[in-house]
Structure 1
């Protein structure tokens, strides 16, 4: 798509949605507009409107965002949750204890039908490095409470950060049991690295998406509401503040910037993206800096945990160059084109500037797609995924060289997308990985459910590891990654559930890796796993499973 047409489409969409964007700023906590008062004829619903739970996010040293959305009928086809077309004034509280005996902040916020009755409150004036609880009220209806934390004060030296990260929760593929186990760990912070919901229609194993493939604002709103009704997901949202970034399925499989995955869907794609981004903001605990403007939403940002860790949260969909050579697994020289970028050149500069300015012990990149090399061809050809960083090798090289040149103390990349746990070391030159020293490491979380029930192998090795020495571990089980970060080390536990097609599965740690401060490269702890689910799948079947996940065939 030429830049003239791209600019014209975006300008038209931004102008057309200007009034609604102003409404979102009010919901996010900006100065109220004259018409932001509750509708005079508003009648408090008799039944509970807090069916979608609560959430907190984007923590800072003096506060965080708290979120809820009213819905009497979450699966209503118009996406408005069965709510009347009235504005409602919600009361909110933040306390230092679970019983709310010591309320330290309180106020009100408008839930506006223009924004699907979502409410975002940016709570300020709290103390750093503290645990708080929050809740909402509408008339006699009281929401459940949620737990949130403020970050340590800038320049302070916290002793630890308990952080978990997850991705890829496809509702028809199984039950969100892993989210509940994640919540039970009571981390300080949860990172969601994309594919929070899936756009497709149809029936899966035990559960079905409401409505057809999401292409309209009503459809995306309905889909988000359906996911939010899941009680395991509600537990995870209520357990800790989230830092969220999207991948592709929040909009359309494997889209790139303003290009749809399939050419037949290109007409009207920016309007579809605008609808998806709007619904994403409405349903996530984001600050008003992320209020969408037409098809654009400012999502990449940083979060500091004192001087212990800086989290660089990236957006690898909204600004990327189109996938090379028609996408898929290819041997593609265009992947080395220096003009192409996965995060976009502006975001690359933002990231490199962050490396140069960093004084953190750990610099952590929260992003979506596989960063290290995964060549699926043992011959001289390099056959890799054009949708991952392998398809944007010059872009990957600039970023890797950037943290090396900036002398970043401990660079760690966190990744989702691929529906399997992987651990990988990172190199400046992957052709020399067998003999060179790593310059960083990557931890990749499996899906919550995408791909359905998984399987395991005793050696934790994928067939590709034989000629990709950077690939240190793999399992096709579902789950999440739980980490403990201290000044001396970062410990990552690959948490797994044996199956997702029935609810209530136990969780266990399949493998544990440690990164030592100032030491490049992953070190695997040798303790035996609590459980293994062995598979008789051939290497060819494992490769086919991996490529299917890459193309999001589920």
Structure 2
């Protein structure tokens, strides 16, 4: 969402080009290293090589992914020579790294910006581990991670937080200060990890680079964001599961259709650049190794018998936004039965997974608001955000009817994108308040991206026209903390006092509870 561009200019949304996309013959710039570069056994660095921190992710019962990137000059392409560099890693049972249980060496290659993705196996389920990297004579900080409980294990409780939308120029990452101190098993990032925009004056911190397009551009932008100490602390404290939204490439792109007027080949190349840089900077498995403008990102994670996460990708495969996008009344295209947010293959994968799940809580982690919301409170008037599921009514109906018919245990949708906090009952018919509630949606506010204050009053005024919406707040930034037990799900909306300063206090704005076996949330 481009700083709520639709809220400031409803009528003049740039009409996007529409392409008939055929078979693409574009291959990845590099799929895997050919090991043609010299390996430097004892490299020297022009600066501290672990300037972007460390991270872990993709937790399984027997292992995790460990990540780092060697970047002694992080905002200057990394500042590494074009050579392969061995990076040692180790995993220990204690925070002092004395009881090491796994160790090895990975090769950081220039083809992937000297990033390292170590898929560690052979670990015990449901326990904390600590990890560290070493390159040459330099060592990284120590990170903490946690494996998932075994699939058939009964789990009494599970805690996680979800975050999204961290526009560097709009504010400091004060929310990550609080997140890093929480007692969590996992963090889920729902997209807009970076923003592609050029310099925009007015925020508390700036960068001077233009809008990003090339692979080098995307690498430098990811590196800029990862220099933030609060973000690094949150990565080092917990394993993360990540997915993207639009700004990792370009605002409001849909599949291979850009927002701006670009040629087909220009955008395909741009998306390939963005996807490669995203992989290089996230703790992802080889499953997600990019192939040109394609990257496998939807996947599933199970945490004992208490929770299963279905992580969606609603950008790479979606149909073009209907009615020329924007915030406006829906045209007939918004009801097209062939329109999709996920693509047919991903949709079927989601349905199969939910049908087979034995988990107490079935989480659908995705990007844009699923519940219907009419932003116009006037009787008989309608205004919808067509980049959200409101622009893909038939696809949403298929999902909600599936929930009604198949009745998987406790479906809960977690969402980002809209820079504000919401709680919705998911209805089979949003226009009929008496229709069945088949799920719950928690929408988390942004880490730093803004929701215009001028748009808050009309959104609040429209609440009465949307009785399935239990809660809205557009003023505050933060994250959502979730505590799951076998009997209840509780979501706490955690907010910071400011993003205009590097430090902030944190508090709970509101809490909502979903009881086991009953869809819909109630304020705690």
Task: Please tell me the TM-score bracket, short chain as reference.
Answer: over 0.9
> Residue 22 of structure 2 corresponds to which residue in structure 1?
6
Match of 1:337 in 2: 336
- Counterpart Cα distance in 2 of 1:368 and 1:290: 18
Alpha-carbon distance change, 510 to 252 in structure 1, aligned in 2, over 3 angstroms: same
User: How many angstroms apart in 2 are the aligned matches of 1:36 and 1:158?
Assistant: 47
Structure 1 residue 453 displacement after superposition: 9.0
Q: Distance in 2 between matches of 1:34 and 1:252?
A: 32
* TM-score relative to the length of structure 1: 0.88
Q: 1:23-49: per-residue Cα shift (whole Å, max 9, x none)? A: 2xxxxxxxxx65477247x73226321
Q: What residue number does 2:115 align with?
A: 118
Aligned twin of 2:212: 214
Give the SS at the match of 1:22: coil
Distance across 2 between alignment mates of 1:254 and 1:265: 16
Contact 1:375 1:468 survives alignment (8 Å): yes
Contact 1:210–1:223 at 8 Å: present in 2 too? no
What's the CA shift for 1:204? 4.2
CA displacement, residues 483-511 of structure 1 (integer Å, 9 cap, x when unaligned) = 00111000000001122111211010000
Deviations along 1:404-439, one digit per CA (max 9) or x if unpaired, are: 222111000000000011111110001112x23411
Q: How many pairs does the alignment contain?
A: 503
Q: Counterpart of 1:325 in 2: which secondary structure?
A: helix
- 1:310-325 paired onto structure 2 within 5 Å: 310-325=308-323
Listed as ranges, the gaps of 5+ residues in structure 1 are 24-32, 526-554
Corresponding residue number in structure 1 for 2:375 = 376
Q: Which position in structure 1 is the counterpart of 2:347? A: 348
Matched residue, 2:14: none
Distance in 1 (alpha carbons) for counterparts of 2:360 and 2:404: 15
Partner of 2:32: 22
Q: Would you say the 8 A contact 2:46–2:79 is kept in 1?
A: no
Seen in structure 2, the aligned counterparts of structure 1 residues 502 and 467 have a Cα distance that, compared at 3 Å, is same
Q: Secondary structure at the match of 1:342?
A: coil
**Alpha-carbon distance in structure 2 between the residues aligned to 1:509 and 1:437:** 30
Q: What CA deviation, in whole Å up to 9, does each residue of 1:237-264 have, x standing for no partner?
A: 0010100000000000000000111234
1:49 aligns to what? 49
Match of 1:363 in 2: 362
Give the Cα separation in 2 of the matches to 1:519 and 1:508.
Answer: 28
Answer yes or no: is 1:520 the counterpart of 2:487. Answer: no
Could you tell me how far apart the structure 2 residues matched to 1:210 and 1:63 are?
Answer: 40
Cα distance in 2 for residues equivalent to 1:273 and 1:151:
32
CA shift in 2, pair 1:186/1:139, >3 Å: farther
Task: Say which of 260, 272, 275 aligns to 1:274.
Answer: 272
Return the match for 1:257 from 244, 249, 255.
255
SS in 1 for 2:269: helix
For normalisation by structure 2, the TM-score amounts to 0.93
| Separation of aligned partners in 1, 2:334 and 2:452 | 33
Cα root mean square deviation, aligned: 2.0
2:170 to 162, 170, 173: 173
- C-alpha contact (below 8 Å) 2:419/2:451 kept by paired residues: no
More helix by share: 1
Q: Would you say the 8 A contact 2:37–2:82 is kept in 1?
A: no
Bigger Cα displacement from structure 2, 213-222 vs 341-350? 341-350
Report the secondary structure of 1:311's partner residue.
strand
Deviation at 1:521, TM superposition (A): 1.2
- 2: CA distance, partners of 1:86 / 1:470: 57
CA contact (8 A) 1:152 1:306 kept: yes
